Amino acid sequence: MKVECVAYPRAAQQHKKRLVPLRKTDAMSHAERRNFVILDDVWRSGGSECFQVADAYVAAEDSYFFQRSPIAFEAIFQYYATGVVHRPSEVDDTTFDNLMFGKVRRRMWTFLERPGSSMQAKAFELSSTLFVAISVMGLSFGTIPDFQVTHYMPPQNETIVLPNGTVSVVEKVEEMRVEHPAFVFTERICIAFFTVEYCLRLFAAPRKLRFALKPLNLVDLLAIVPFYLELLLTLCGVDDKKLRDLRWAFLVVRILRVLRVIRIIKLGRFSSGLQTFGMTLQRSQKQLQMMTIVLLTVGKIIASAAIMCGVLVLALPITIIVDNFIKVAQDEQQAEQTKLDSSRQELALQSMLHGDED
């Protein structure tokens, strides 16, 4: 493994556009790397942590690129590797000022994004999964009439003209079925947890724009935005009565309530099978484009809704079954290989014993 850092800042700016981001670089010519200083074998841990801190990677040469000062590079890289800072004598103290705060962010990022790093991180992952499950179940049960309660609107006076010409004022009270208060309280607790979780991830992310544009993080944002938009409409004085009068506002709120179901996709963050399924769909974009060619707009909308519902219903069990099928197949192959190796060893041992007897 080779680790490289930028030796000349001006030259680095010239080659910055040609330096392909990490995991997308397959090869880089020697002419493009003539302004880089190679630090061979700085860290021999296999490169697992390099993917988190490097600016680029050359798979053909197993090299990592870091756009940093070559004087302080080795000390900074050793800090990422060991967590201990050793400041070179020729480097000013202000160069490492950001590490006092950066260390907290790095630990927070490891805690949130790597559940296997500690028992606390694993417990946080399980609690997040539990909140997602409770939230989705609450949304589902809240739509069942048996779990709803009757809400009475404020009484309003309505003027009625009788057939004999008499004018009568009648107090009218409207009633409507709404979610049980327990489900509303549970929804608020889950939204508070999701909001804190997203803010912490965004705060600890080393590259916030790239973090915000990732598909799973967009799902996290879409899972909490509808709640706050509904809350904003309520603060603006748009209640259920006015929503029925304003068709556009009522339609927007209904769409926002449907979008809350998207938080079930948050489970993909904790399932390797769902992540593999998502990458499979991403690689199959060209092949799936033919499904978008329809004759009418209504057919397009209905087909899109049916496809999304089918994916949400079938994605979880299918990916789990396929993932377990692959694991079982690999275990069986390993078991067969072990039996074959043991039988070969027994035959070799028997032949040696017969040879000694002869």
What is the reported pLDDT for 101?
Answer: 52
40, pLDDT greater than 60:
no
The span from the CA of 292 to the CA of 52, in Å, is 37
* pLDDT surpasses 70 at 306: yes
- pLDDT tier at 102, thresholds 50, 70, 90: low
Residue 97 exposure: Cα atoms within 13 Å on the Cβ side: 4
Residue 50, judged by CB atoms within 10 A of its CB (0-12, 13-18, 19+), counts as buried
- Residue 102 dihedral angles phi and psi, to the nearest 5°: -65, -30
Using the structure block, give the residue that is written with the tokens 């309003």.
156
**Which region among 6-20, 69-83, 196-210, 282-296 has the lowest average model confidence (pLDDT)?**
6-20
Q: What is the CA 303 to chain-centroid distance, rounded?
A: 26
Residue 53's CB is within 10 A of a number of other CB atoms, namely 17
Burial 261-275 (b: 16+ CB within 10 A, else e): bbbbbbbbbebebbe
pLDDT in tens, 245-285: 555 555 555 566 666 666 666 666 666 666 666 667 677 67
- CA 173-175-178 angle, 5° bins: 150
Structure tokens at 191: 């939204």
Give the Å distances, CA to CA, from 89 to 38, 93, 102, 289: 22, 9, 22, 59
Q: Tell me the β-bridge partners of 225.
A: none
The residue type found at 352 is M
List the Cα angle 203/205/207 in 5-degree steps. Answer: 120
- Dihedral sign, CA of 84, 89, 93, 95? negative
Amino acid at 26: D
State residue 247 phi and psi, 5-degree precision: -65, -40
pLDDT at 241: 58
Residue 225 pLDDT exceeds 50:
yes
Please say if the pLDDT value at position 201 is more than 80: yes
Write down the pLDDT at residue 249.
Answer: 54
User: pLDDT averaged over the chain?
Assistant: 68
**Which residue in 268, 198, 192, 261 sits closest to 231, CA to CA?**
192
User: Which residues 6+ apart lie within 8 Å of 38 measured at CB?
Assistant: 2, 3, 4, 63
Query: For the ranges 6-15, 201-210, 300-309, 314-323, which has the lowest average pLDDT?
Result: 6-15
Q: Summarize pLDDT for 214-224 with one digit per residue, the tens.
A: 877 887 887 78
**What are phi and psi for residue 225, nearest 5 degrees?**
-65, -45
pLDDT band (50, 70, 90) for residue 75: confident
pTM of this prediction? 0.49
pLDDT score at 26: 39
Residue 308 pLDDT? 75
214, 222 Cβ separation under 8 angstroms: no
CA neighbours closer than 13 Å in the CB half-sphere of residue 337: 6
> Distance between CA 301 and CA 343 in Å, rounded?
61
Write the CB contacts of 147 (distance below 8 Å, at least 6 apart in sequence).
141, 179, 180, 183
Look at residues 54, 60, 50, 1 and name the one whose alpha carbon lies nearest to residue 25: 60
